[in-house]
Amino acid sequence: MQKTNLRHSGGSLMLSGHLHESMSPYEFTPPMREAIGGTVVTVDDDVHGSAFRVPGCLEKLVDYFETGKRTTTCPGMPVPE
């Protein structure tokens, strides 16, 4: 396996971290942002990739790509009880 070196770059990056997800636990998100830069969007759900399916969240992401206006939270999908 080849080692990958992470570094900050000049590009814009938006990382999403899902608070209740087990596939890629949220606690890994802040260290990743520290390693490569960008903005973290915290999504309050347990569904990987849900930002594209949640009304309100998708609009915030599109707004970012159109205007550069960053957001830091999205509502997410309902979390099962």
- Contact in structure between 50 and 23 (CB atoms under 8 Å): no
Query: pLDDT tens, 19-32?
Result: 998 888 999 999 99
Q: Of 46, 28, 30, which Cα lies nearest the Cα of 38?
A: 30
Structure tokens, 57 = 């969240």
Tens of pLDDT, residues 31-64 = 999 988 888 888 888 888 887 888 888 888 888 8
Give the pLDDT mean for 72-76: 81
pLDDT of 28 reads: 93
Give the neighbor-by-neighbor strand order of the sheet with 39-43.
14-18, 39-43, 73-74
Q: What are phi and psi of 29, to 5 degrees?
A: -70, -50
| E strands, the chain, in order | 14-18, 39-43, 73-74
Residue 21 covered by a domain = no
- The whole domain housing 65 covers 37-76
Residue 66 placed within a domain: yes
Has residue 17 been placed in a domain? no
Overall pTM > 0.85: no
pLDDT at 55: 81
